Amino acid sequence: MDRLNKYLAHAGLGSRRHCEELIVAGRVTIDGQPVRELGTRVAPGQTVSVDGQPVRSERHVYWLLNKPRGVLCTNADPAGRTRAIDLMEHVPERVYTVGRLDEESEGLLLLTNDGDLANQLTHPRYGVTKTYLVQVAGKPSHEDLQKLLQGVWLSDGHVRAKSARAIKKQGESTWLRIVLSEGKNREIRRMLAKLEHKVLRLRRVALGPVQLGRLRPGKSRRLGTEEVKTLREIASKDRRSE
């Protein structure tokens, strides 16, 4: 028997954490009875519903979207702004974003209904790298780049880049290539703000071995079998044991 949160995640309802929130909120029933205990398990043949709608298992799908600037990674927006999932209407399964890019950031965004893989790709302990191209005002010095590697203190802890280097100048700005293995909210923007370099543009170009490539903004593609296999292999390695 599967734990209820795992059952819901495998059915495409979101990450396990999100599914736990659904359970605690009393939105989940088993055979018509509300369930709020996170340790509840689902037996074969039982009917699980969320908000009165039966949950049916879905095949796992994996999509890569080139998120444009101005698009949100939230599930709901009262203001009616465009969300990443609005660009995935051609996908019949209920997919959700793996991690987030803030509204003004762009680039590679993975969407799936595989809650287990999504959790591993976003949890810091697995150390899955994310690569960004970042345009900043001014010209960061060698010392600035070293500070990114050594780490800076933010309100929610100490963060550092796995690698950081300048790749080209553009007028009065500079493009940097930064690799992270963490995923704190607006991490790169806040790190560079500490060094007094405003971010003008931020684009994620890789998640582990998966590359954005030449995919146009707003377009999406399925991940290939080998890409999914490689992501699983990388995400399964707990960096705490190394």
pLDDT classification of 172: cutoffs 50, 70, 90: very high
Query: Which has more confidence, 241 or 208?
Result: 208
175-190 CB burial, b ≥16 within 10 A, e <16: bbbbebbbbeebbbbb
pTM: 0.79
pLDDT of the residue at 241: 46
pLDDT of the residue at 133: 98
Domains and CATH numbers, the chain: 2-54 (3.10.290.10), 62-124+213-241 (3.30.70.580), 129-207 (3.30.70.1560)
- 99 burial class (0-12, 13-18, 19+ CB within 10 angstroms)? middle
Q: What is the mean pLDDT of residues 37-62?
A: 90
Which tens digits make up the pLDDT trace of 110-155? 999 888 888 888 877 778 899 999 999 999 999 999 999 999 998 8
pLDDT of the residue at 239: 54
Which tens digits make up the pLDDT trace of 177-236? 999 987 777 899 999 999 999 999 999 999 999 999 999 999 999 999 999 999 999 887
Q: What is the mean pLDDT of residues 152-159?
A: 88
- Report the C-alpha gap between 221 and 224 in whole angstroms: 9
pLDDT of the residue at 240: 47
Q: What is the mean pLDDT of residues 70-96?
A: 91
User: 115-122 and 225-235 helices cross at what angle (nearest 10)?
Assistant: 60
Residues tagged active-site: 102
